[in-house]
Amino acid sequence: MQISVTGGELAKQAADTYVVGIAEGARRLTGQAATLDRALDGALTAQITAGIAKGRSGELAAVATSGRLPARTVVMIGTGKRDEAETADALRTRVANVARRLRTMEAGAVAFASGDATAALDPADAGRAIAEGFILGLYRFDKHHTNAADRALGSIGDVTLVEPTASRVAPLTTGADEGVIVAEAQNLARDLGNEPANLMTPSILAARAQRLASEHGLECKVIERAEAERLKMGSYLSVTNGSVQPPKFIVLTYRGGRGNRFIGLVGKGITFDTGGISLKPGAGMESMKGDMTGAAVVIAAMGAIAQLKPAVNVMAIAPCTENMPSGSATKPGDVVYAMDGQSIEVVNTDAEGRLVLADALAYARAEGCTTLIDVATLTGAMSVALGAVRYGVFANDDRVYRDLERAATAAGERVWRLPLDAEYEELIKSDVADIKNTGGRAAGSITAAKFLQHFAGDTPWAHLDIAGVMATSSDKGVLVKGNSGMPVRTLVNFVLARAR
Ligand code: BES
Ligand code: MN
Ligand code: ZN
């Protein structure tokens, strides 16, 4: 599916389906809908008068054109009350819901009236929201269904946004092009996260990162086990001990700015988390194939960044490994040393994310990252606290938090800040090492963040705990059942804003 923007009139477009917005309670049609209505001898108005199309948000009414227009169908979509201020987020959500309905209808090539619903919005924001709505909403992961019937969700042709106001065409196009890049990056993260762990090992993930790098002109370095040993990444390596899969510490570099300072995007890459010797219960363990979502998200975001070319340097760091029990696995009580020399008592091998991130953060700082954002499916306690609506953010720096919150809000992804008070430190003091890797049940997400703070040191840093938003249980707006690919949009926005 291609998404493009054109100036002119909807009624003249060569397409199979025209889509127009209808405001709730509107008695008369205006703009492009009015033109279509005249060509259809009032058939759209008749839908409103008969009470079939009420304009309620989420509502959809289809009218056959019977040869009176180039398209065979006009779809009227409810845009809600006109006085309710339209937001880019509401538009993105509505478009995603409509896109799935159009797919079920086998709508073919779609011409979409951009003007009616988006006049109140900045055209670039509207273009981005519409493109993201289509591409994210239509995502599916069906490659392992071998029966065609299980893949039959329908299909949709190319989408053309038709804009009557000439001056809005260029910014709408810029926004739509950006939306396509960012949404496709998020769908890539979803693909990586949805893939089962036998088909998304650290080696396979590294090969995918290498392919992305060569497609988009990024530098890619994969640190193998032997080099990680030379670098003294004892914390990261301790998690790899139980697995027969070789670990891969993936580093992607984008150079858009001057000098050797980088924004560091660090992503937890546990391709499967069994818990290790502190084994997890069996029920639901299959969801732990998604425990590399942080890595998937930072890798995928780099693909978008490489295409959008902001004037800033960015490094993505993804420590990848399985967390498995075996005769060679790390045991509760073991003491390991991170590359920056700090000692860690591993009291629970299921708190492995912070162990791989400790070395990744230390490595990032050693490589010149002067702002750090880590993204991790770190704690089950995060979904207890915030559910699947918002993800938690911890930051040692107010400016990083503020910029991150702005980036998230603009992206339509929601965050909530949690605290890092010094008192929480008590809970992760160890009798035998500098620090221990769990602090018990109380404040589980906070003690995990406090642990990471040790390795961020005085570098401005934010930690995004995405465990609660990792996956979605049903199709809703831009989210499709399965891995969410969150927060690719926030990360890309953050980097773009830092470059401005
Ligand atoms: N990967 C899990 C956290 C998780 C749980 C992510 C559910 C997504 C959904 C993490 O490695 C983990 O096991 N955390 C433990 C920490 C505990 C041992 C201190 C947890 O949350 O139980
Ligand atoms: Mn774990
Ligand atoms: Zn984990």
Could you read off the pLDDT of 45-55 as tens digits, one per residue?
999 999 999 99
Q: Is 354 a catalytic residue?
A: yes
Q: How many CB atoms lie within 10 A of CB 305?
A: 28
Class of domain 3-187: alpha beta
Instruction: Report in angstroms the alpha-carbon separations of 162 from 117, 135, 156, 491.
Output: 12, 18, 17, 30
* pLDDT over 90 at 27, yes or no: no
Where is average pLDDT lowest: 8-12, 81-85, 255-259?
81-85
C-alpha 129 chain-centroid distance: 14
Residue having the nearest C-alpha atom to atom 14 of ligand 1 = 379
- What is the structure's pLDDT at 198? 98
Q: What is the pLDDT of residues 207-221, one digit of tens each?
A: 999 999 999 999 999
> 85: number of CA atoms within 13 Å, CB side?
4
By the 10 Å C-beta count (0-12 exposed, 13-18 middle, 19+ buried), 114 is classed as buried
Q: How many CB atoms lie within 10 A of CB 215?
A: 11
> 19: number of CA atoms within 13 Å, CB side?
27
Pocket test for ligand 1, best of 378, 428, 445 (most atoms within 8 A of CB): 378
Are 92 and 130 contacting, i.e. CB atoms less than 8 angstroms apart? yes
Q: 297: CA distance to ligand 3 center in Å? A: 15
Q: Is 92 a catalytic residue?
A: no
Torsion of CA 471, 475, 477, 478, to 10 degrees: 50
* 34: its two tokens: 């009015």
Are 197 and 322 contacting, i.e. CB atoms less than 8 angstroms apart? yes
* 97: its two tokens: 């819901």
Integer Cα distance of 449 and 441 in angstroms: 14
With a pLDDT cut of 90, the percent of the chain lying above it is: 94
- What is the structure's pLDDT at 288? 98
Higher-pLDDT residue of 115 and 426 is: 426
- What is the structure's pLDDT at 292? 99
Place of tokens 């938003």: 469
* pLDDT over 70 at 83, yes or no: no
| φ and ψ at residue 23, rounded to 5 degrees | -80, 150
* pLDDT over 80 at 37, yes or no: yes
State which ligand 1 atom lies nearest to the alpha carbon of 438: 19
* pLDDT over 70 at 56, yes or no: yes
Place of tokens 């818990």: 275
Pocket test for ligand 1, best of 274, 289, 291 (most atoms within 8 A of CB): 291
480 falls in which pLDDT band (50, 70, 90)?
very high
Task: Kindly report the average pLDDT of the chain as a whole number.
Answer: 96
Residue having the nearest C-alpha atom to atom 17 of ligand 1 = 351
116 falls in which pLDDT band (50, 70, 90)?
low
Mean pLDDT value of segment 96-104: 97
CATH homologous superfamily for the domain 196-499 = Zn peptidases (3.40.630.10)
By the 10 Å C-beta count (0-12 exposed, 13-18 middle, 19+ buried), 299 is classed as buried
- What is the structure's pLDDT at 364? 99
Mean pLDDT value of segment 78-99: 89
Are 71 and 15 contacting, i.e. CB atoms less than 8 angstroms apart? yes
The domain limits of the chain are 3-187, 196-499
Where is average pLDDT lowest: 141-155, 180-194, 245-259, 370-384?
141-155
